[in-house]
Amino acid sequence: MKPTLMLIGLGGLAEVILELLAREESLGRIIVASRNVERGIARCNLARLSAMAQGYSPKINFAPLDLNNAEAVAETVRQESPNLILSCATMQTWWLPDMLPPPQSALINSAGFGVWLPVHLTLTLKLMEALRQADYSGLTLTAPFPDVVNCILGKLNLAPTCGIGNIDEIVPKVRLLAAQRLEVPLEAVRVFLVAHHALEPAAFGTPKVFGEAVGETPPYFLRIEYGGQDVTQTVRADELLFAPYPLPSGPPTHFLTAGSTIRLIRALFSDQGALLHAPAPNGLPGGYPVIAGKSGVQPAPIEGLSLAEAIAINQQSHRFDGIERIEADDGAAVFCPDAVEVLRKALGYNCHRLPPAEAEARATELMARFREYAGQYGVNLENV
């Protein structure tokens, strides 16, 4: 029997993922779950007909779902019995600061992505609590800021299987450039990268730094192999990692994240599994090479680097996203002082430490203050 996948949330990224899922013949049912019934049904209808126009016949159904109602979520999961849940649900899309005029956008972005943690943590935390209530034993993938969100959830024994995107968006670029430099087929090149979400802007030529991190690059580990041999030095791997490779900003990059996600899903449903990259496997911070298969996702062995060393690299990288540390006892995030100060001055929002239980209240406050700030510069975000 073909597996059932539940897609939770239906924002810009999820819409792209849904279109690709509708063309995956290895899947059985696709259940799309979100709060907006009218929009959800319309998107399901579009994905179904679009796939049929290309000769596919997906089984796509819509299920109303509100992550604020844990009992209803648990009941829906029990009824639908998905083999895999993929959640893209967040309280605010990640690219909204880019809608501000350039000076204000640069100011807000200078705080680092981590200051938006509460808007990305809140719904994923609610989902994982509901899945525990449902006694769900399947696989769970999450999209919102997994390098940090899933690490926090791991401290609460609520870690998803892993995140999607981020590190696996860097690897194809490095692999392609290495194959070109070696003048060999792409499939003969393997990349082993340990890196945090914070490295991605630098890898694509758009570094966002703040405070004490100015002029620095997040730590990482990179090994490139050709035919099983280490060619890291031969291809000058660090040059490839930071080689200019312009991408469009904002929603168009969802296609890159979605493509990475589909490959991960294929591996999770395959008998052989695959060596891939993914963020936050089983709640670890940052991203790693992983072995993905039916039993889940595990960090892959890396020649020349222990797992403890890989974890340390990613823990050190949190500050490049504006997060000083994640506390081991309760999963609270402590933000870098410079990041806190940017939002305090610009928005009047002052949060030095975020315990998971306070995420929703902080998210609500941050979103309201940000929308008010945007309105001062003629940007209406209420319907975005």
- Three-state secondary-structure class, residue 30: strand
Instruction: For residue range 220-255, list pLDDT tens digits in order.
Output: 999 999 999 999 999 999 999 999 999 998 999 999
Query: Alpha helices, DSSP H only, in 54-101?
Result: 70-80
Q: Classify domain 167-321 by CATH number.
A: 3.90.110.10
What does the pLDDT read at residue 383?
72
What does the pLDDT read at residue 98?
93
Q: How far is CA 217 from CA 173, 197, 251, 310, in A?
A: 18, 12, 25, 16
Extract the residue ranges of the chain whose pLDDT is less than 70.
Answer: 206-215
**pTM tops 0.85:** yes
Instruction: For residue range 84-96, list pLDDT tens digits in order.
Output: 999 999 999 999 9
Cβ-Cβ contacts under 8 Å for 152 (sequence gap 6 or more) = 121, 326, 331, 333, 356
Fold held by 5-161: Rossmann fold (3.40.50)
Distance CA(139)–CA(281), nearest Å, equals 11
Other CB atoms within 10 Å distance of the CB of residue 351 = 18
Please, what sign has the CA dihedral across residues 278, 237, 224, 248?
positive
Structure token pair of residue 78: 């029990």
Residue ranges covered by each domain of the chain:
5-161, 167-321, 324-376
Pairing mode, strands 162-163 and 139-142: parallel
Strand partners, 208: none
